Amino acid sequence: MKALTISIPLSQVKSKARDYNQLIKFRLTFTVVLSSVLGFLLGTQGAVDYGSLWALVIGGFLVVASSNGINQIIEKDFDKLMTRTANRPIAQNRMSILEAGIFCGITGIVGVSILGLYLNMYAALLGFASLMSYAFIYTPLKRVSPIAVLVGAFPGAIPPLLGWVAASGHFGWGAASLFLLQFFWQFPHFWAIAWILKDDYQKAGYQLLPTSSGRSKASALQILAYSAVLIPLSLLPYLFGISGMVSMFIVLISSVLLLICGIALYRSLSVKDAKRLMFASIIYNPLTLIALLIDKI
């Protein structure tokens, strides 16, 4: 008797892989996991436990992938309206809600379980809180009020904190300083993106700039204020003993440069300066975390 074989064209496999890449937002997921890895290294005392590190990478990746997928399930009808998101797999019916829901459910449960079983309960709780708050609180709020950015900043600030707790097994002032830097960094970062994509976001009814006046001095002033807060926060890792003078100066100078980009946006109110602020903020986040590691090398 001949064995039953199933042949799937390579083009279909590649197409499905691209759809899942879009569903989980692979590049974004990678950067989020990177920040948790850097937090893990900062929280490590002595030799690095590579088994725990891999558990963090795999568990964290699955949790973030689940969050991003649920976000697209909830926003499928709005994704169709925006140029930036119109080609997402659920929005274009290349992937059913059932398929995406099963995938997100499995990845979320497995990811949180890995964090709990191979790391510690604090890591699992942080992963679960991040997933739930991002997918089911921040996502629906985006069409209701600009406060969505504030709400979304909490799960957005969890990754380096989760990494620290995964390595050390406890919270503390070092973990708090990482959380605060990540928390306040998100405001200039996401508001710069919202400034650039304002017209596209309006198609879906998203209210993500800090004021209802849109690209205005009032909105730019809030971006400027949150950027300025990063300057005193830059001193916290040094004051709490998790970094040295060199690291402190690198983080401090980076914060000042980010503030300068915010000042430029306040003066011009231009999309061009918003793009500069966005790119500066993209560089700022990994740069500051890596800088804090200098004294541990």
Digit-coded pLDDT (tens) for 63-108: 999 999 999 999 999 999 999 999 999 999 999 999 999 999 999 9
What rounded mean pLDDT belongs to the chain?
Answer: 92
Structural domain count of the chain: 2
CB atoms within 10 A of CB 18: 12
Whether residues 150 and 184 fall in one domain: no
Enclosing domain of residue 110: 14-170
Using the 3D structure, point to which of 119, 154, 170 is the last residue of a domain: 170
Domain shared by 279 and 181, yes or no: yes
Is residue 166 located within the same domain as residue 179?
A: no
> Residue 6 domain-assigned?
no
188 neighbors 229 (Cβ within 8 angstroms): no
Residues 31 and 161 in one domain: yes
Q: Domain check: are 132 and 25 in the same one?
A: yes
Q: What is the CATH number of the domain that holds 97?
A: 1.10.357.140
- Band (pLDDT 50/70/90 cuts) for residue 3 is low
Same domain (yes/no): 290, 239: yes
Q: Does residue 286 sit within a domain?
A: yes
Compute the average pLDDT of residues 195-217. 90
DSSP 114: H
Q: What is the mean pLDDT of residues 34-47?
A: 93
Q: What is the pLDDT of residue 6?
A: 57
Same domain, 255 and 136: no
Q: Do residues 189 and 63 touch, judged by C-beta distance below 8 A?
A: no
The separation between CA 61 and the C-alpha centre of its own chain, rounded to angstroms, equals 12
User: Are both 162 and 196 inside the same structural domain?
Assistant: no
Residue 3 resides in a domain: no
What pLDDT does residue 127 have? 97
Q: What is the pLDDT of residue 2?
A: 53
Q: Read off the pLDDT of residues 233-267 as tens digits, 9 standing for 90 and up.
A: 999 999 988 888 999 999 999 999 999 999 999 99
Q: How far is it, in rounded angstroms, from Cα 165 to Cα 188?
A: 26
**Over 90: is that where the pLDDT of 14 sits?**
no
Q: Last residue of some domain: 121, 154, 170?
A: 170
Q: Residue range 144-157: average pLDDT? A: 92
Long-range contacts of 227-233 (CB under 8 A, 24+ apart): 227/187, 227/188, 227/255, 227/258, 227/259, 227/261, 227/262, 228/259, 228/262, 229/184, 230/181, 230/184, 230/185, 230/255, 230/258, 230/259, 231/255, 231/256, 231/259, 233/177, 233/180, 233/181, 233/184
Is position 1 within any domain?
Answer: no
Q: Is the pLDDT of residue 1 over 70?
A: no
Where does the pLDDT of residue 283 fall: very low under 50, low under 70, confident under 90, or very high at 90 and above?
very high
The answer to whether residue 91 sits within a structural domain is yes
Report the predicted TM-score, pTM, of the whole model to 2 decimal places: 0.91
Question: What is the per-residue burial (b if ≥16 Cβ within 10 Å, else e) of 86-100?
Answer: eebbbbeebbeeebb
> In this model, does residue 5 exceed pLDDT 60?
no
> How would residue 290 be classed by pLDDT, with cut points 50, 70 and 90?
very high
Shared-domain flag, residues 185 and 236 = yes
Q: What pLDDT does residue 116 have?
A: 96
- How many other C-beta atoms are found inside a 10 Å radius of the C-beta of residue 10? 8
pLDDT tier for residue 268 given thresholds of 50, 70 and 90: very high
Does 8 fall in a domain? no
Which ranges constitute the DSSP H helices of the chain?
10-24, 26-43, 50-74, 76-79, 97-118, 121-133, 139-141, 147-168, 173-196, 198-204, 217-233, 236-239, 245-268, 271-292
294 and 210 in a common domain: yes
pLDDT above 80 (res 11): no
Determine the average pLDDT of the residues in 286-297.
Answer: 85
CA distance 3 to 286: 52
Minimal CA–CA distance to 63: which of 27, 117, 105? 105
Which tens digits make up the pLDDT trace of 166-183? 999 988 888 999 999 999
Rounded to whole angstroms, the Cα distance separating 278 from 190 reads 8
Domain boundary among 170, 201, 226: 170
Specify whether 84 is located in the same domain as 98: yes
| From 69-73, 205-209, 280-284, the region with the lowest mean pLDDT | 205-209
pLDDT at position 7 is 57
| Per-residue model confidence as pLDDT tens digits over 109-125 | 999 999 999 999 999 99
Band (pLDDT 50/70/90 cuts) for residue 144 is: confident
208: helix, strand or coil:
coil
Question: In whole angstroms, what is the distance from residue 136 CA to residue 129 CA?
Answer: 10
Q: How far apart are CA 297 and CA 292, in angstroms?
A: 10
- Shared domain check, 157 and 75: yes
| C-alpha distance from residue 293 to each of 37, 272, 289 (Å) | 11, 33, 7
| Residue 29 covered by a domain | yes
Q: How far apart are CA 2 and CA 297, in angstroms?
A: 60
Q: How far apart are CA 294 and CA 297, in angstroms?
A: 6
pLDDT at 129: 97
In a domain, 92, yes or no: yes
